[in-house]
Amino acid sequence: MYDEDKKTILIVDDEQSIIDILVYNLKKEGYNTIEATDGVSAVEMALEQKPNLILLDIMLPKMDGLTACKKIKNALNVPILILSAKDEELDKIVGLELGADDYITKPFSVRELMARVKANLRKSEVIVSNAETKPEREEHKIEVGDLLLDIDRFEVKVRGQKVDLTVREFEVLKYLATQPRTNSVKRTTT
């Protein structure tokens, strides 16, 4: 039963037993769930249904999870938690660099996973509420060359084109843009 007042989680895994465990626990926590068993379906469902969060396996048929993550992040700013049996440091780094917001290795603790789901949803809500509740009278922006960071809206533009970034990517870019450099950094308050 789908409830529009509840947050929706897209579960992407090719193992039905893992999907079943996740659906059971997420519904118990009060979330709607939708499921995909391959990367192509995951991208299509994410773009059509716009879930509030995605749990994504890496090893998937038709399109691997890393490619799916990149395609989804290019279109939507939605938290993505990778669930994978791949536990090498390099796998985690690649996943996070491609836009994942968190990386959890299998086998995982269901309680820890639920806590991470809630934490990532809270982070995304803070960004949305900050963007919606800030007064229009004062905006903080940082300009470096063709790069414009709107701190209040968590937006980045390069040569006028909006670039979607994860929270971590935005914070790193903001940090780098505010570091002293020989080039002039122009901060504006309008």
What is residue 153's predicted lDDT score, i.e. its pLDDT? Answer: 67
Cα–Cα nearest to 17, from 9, 7, 8, 25: 25
Spell out the per-residue pLDDT of the chain, length 190, in tens.
556 778 999 999 999 999 999 999 999 999 999 999 999 999 999 999 999 999 999 999 999 988 899 889 888 889 999 998 888 888 888 888 888 889 998 888 899 999 999 988 888 776 555 544 444 444 578 888 888 888 766 778 888 888 887 767 777 888 788 776 654 455 555 5
What is residue 126's predicted lDDT score, i.e. its pLDDT? Answer: 63
According to DSSP, the β-strands at 186-189 and 140-144 are antiparallel
What DSSP character marks residue 143? Answer: E
CA 168-169-172 angle, to 5 degrees, is 85
pTM exceeds cut of 0.75: no
The full set of domains in the chain, from first to last, is 8-132 (3.40.50.2300), 140-189 (1.10.10.10)
